[in-house]
């Protein structure tokens, strides 16, 4: 079986993808700085603790491990933080990626799956969003991903460097049986924060109910992390089978408002969620829902755990295991 490098494999989506790659029989090499990832999310024997900027060391690793393709998750992911410290986002997400690509070229590894984002579309003209909508990011996080997508376009054209760019919508849920789930520090994402509010009794602040949506709160497309991980496996297999560079949205195609997510959390946990209504958060578009038809028809991917209650139930199981461990 081929060997796959996973950068950011100690992070949320990276750790789930690593798990499913190994389940499928791939050899996996994980590279993670552990700045924001968790050591225990990766089997020790495959973990290399390394910053992406160590180009030479990464090139050597790729050669000695005989890596066939890479899946590149490592990067900062918080919209809010990126509006406070844009430079940090460009250094880490853009320079870090370039260093990895340089190492890959040195080692003649020319297949890459890249974590991109729905934030690349900004406030979209049409919802559900298709891949051919133009780039229009409204925050530095989204812009940093767009920059890397564009770099990959040129590398495809002139350096035979093939990539699949996956534009994620809202990753959530967990794989509690594998001991994997969402653990950002600080946590900024809606579902884990709602679950923490249930556990602690401390209210969560909801960011605005004056959006042009039916209940006034923002609409997002929440996709189970394991379905998202599966999309990476379809993508890397497509590249290993000599597929051309391409871009795909990864979402369920169904949107849920912040209030609807809160109600689902109350249903699943059987407890009320304490909350206060706050102002809008900087950089939040009103509605982001994926049209993932292309991923379904071209690569044969299909979400298996699309229902919100199932997603939240997995996340809840994981959150409870953290509390008791």
Residue ranges in contact with ligand UDP by CB under 6 A: 79, 170, 188-190, 193, 204-207, 218, 220, 258, 281, 284
Contact 218, 286 (CB under 8 A): yes
Residue nearest to ligand UDP (CB): 218
Based on the residue annotation, tell me whether 121 is a catalytic residue of this protein. Answer: no
Q: What minimum distance in Å lies between the beta carbon of 289 and ligand UDP?
A: 11
Within 13 A of 191's CA, how many CA atoms are on the CB side? Answer: 32
- CB closer to ligand UDP out of 68 and 182: 182
- CB closer to ligand UDP out of 3 and 188: 188
What is the rounded radius of gyration, in angstroms, for the C-alpha atoms of the chain? Answer: 19
Q: What minimum distance in Å lies between the beta carbon of 261 and ligand UDP?
A: 7
- CB closer to ligand UDP out of 41 and 194: 194
Q: What minimum distance in Å lies between the beta carbon of 120 and ligand UDP?
A: 12
- CB closer to ligand UDP out of 48 and 251: 251
Q: What is the 3-state secondary structure (H, E, C) of 255-270?
A: CEEHHHHHHHHHHHHC
Q: What minimum distance in Å lies between the beta carbon of 220 and ligand UDP?
A: 5
Strands 256-257 and 219-220: what pairing? antiparallel
Choosing from 121, 141, 211, 234, the catalytic residue is 141
User: What are the helix and strand counts (H, E) for the chain?
Assistant: 11, 14
- How far apart CA 142 and CA 144 sit, in angstroms, is 5
The runs of H, that is alpha helices, within the chain are 12-23, 55-64, 79-84, 86-89, 96-106, 140-159, 190-200, 225-240, 258-269, 293-299, 308-324
- As a whole number of Å, the end-to-end CA separation of the chain is 35
> Known catalytic residues?
141
């Amino acid at each position: 079986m081929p060997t796959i490098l996973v950068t950011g494999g100690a992070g949320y989506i990276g750790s789930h993808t690593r798990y499913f790659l190994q389940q499928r029989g791939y050899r996996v090499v994980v590279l993670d700085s552990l700045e924001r990832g968790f050591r225990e999310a990766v089997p020790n024997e495959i973990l290399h603790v390394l910053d992406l900027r160590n180009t030479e060391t990464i090139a050597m690793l790729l050669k000695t491990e005989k890596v066939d393709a890479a899946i590149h998750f490592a990067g900062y992911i918080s919209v809010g933080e990126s509006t406070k410290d844009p430079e940090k986002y460009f250094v880490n997400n853009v320079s870090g990626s370039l260093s990895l690509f340089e190492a890959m070229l040195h080692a003649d590894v020319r297949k890459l799956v890249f974590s991109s984002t729905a934030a690349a579309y900004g406030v979209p003209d049409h919802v559900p969003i298709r891949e051919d909508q133009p780039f229009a990011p409204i925050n530095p996080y989204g812009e940093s991903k767009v920059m890397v997508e564009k770099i990959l376009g040129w590398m495809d054209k002139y350096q035979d460097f093939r990539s699949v760019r996956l534009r994620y919508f809202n990753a959530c849920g967990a794989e509690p049986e594998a001991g994997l789930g969402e653990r950002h520090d600080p946590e900024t994402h809606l579902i884990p924060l709602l679950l923490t509010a249930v556990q602690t009794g401390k209210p969560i602040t909801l960011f605005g109910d004056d959006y042009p949506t039916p209940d006034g709160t923002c609409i997002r497309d929440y996709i189970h992390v394991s379905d998202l991980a599966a999309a990476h496996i379809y993508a890397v297999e497509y590249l290993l089978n000599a597929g051309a560079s391409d871009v795909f949205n990864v979402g369920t195609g169904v949107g849920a408002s912040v209030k609807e997510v809160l109600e689902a959390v109350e249903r699943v946990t059987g407890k009320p969620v304490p909350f206060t209504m706050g102002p809008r958060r900087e950089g939040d578009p009103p509605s982001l829902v994926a049209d993932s038809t292309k991923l379904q028809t071209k690569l044969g991917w299909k979400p298996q755990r699309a229902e919100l209650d199932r997603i939240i139930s997995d996340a809840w199981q994981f959150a409870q295991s953290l509390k008791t461990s």
